[in-house]
Amino acid sequence: MNIKEYFVSIFKGFYSLIKGMEVTGKELVTPKVTEQYPENRAELHIPERFRATLEFIYDDKGYHKCIACGSCERNCPNQTISITKRMVELPDGKKKMKLDKYMYDLGSCTFCGLCVQVCPTSAIRFSNDFEQAVFTREKLHKQLNYLPEKDDAPAPAPAAKPAAPKPAPAPAVEKPAADETKQEPQEKKES
Under 8 Å CB-to-CB from 9, ≥6 apart: which residues?
none
CB atoms within 10 A of CB 179: 7
The dihedral formed by the CA atoms of 123, 48, 127 and 115, expressed in degrees to the nearest 10: 50
Name the phi and psi angles at 94, rounded to 5.
Answer: -80, 160
Domain residue extents for the chain: 53-143
Per-residue pLDDT of the chain (191 residues; tens, 9 = 90+): 789 899 999 999 999 999 989 988 998 888 888 888 888 888 888 888 889 999 999 888 888 888 889 999 999 999 999 999 988 888 888 888 888 999 999 999 999 999 999 999 999 999 988 888 899 999 999 998 876 665 553 443 444 444 555 555 555 555 555 555 555 555 555 54
pTM, to two decimals: 0.57
- State which CATH number among 3.40.50.1100, 3.40.50.1820, 3.30.70.3270, 1.10.10.10 fits the domain covering 53-143: 3.30.70.3270
The predicted structure's pLDDT at residue 9: 93
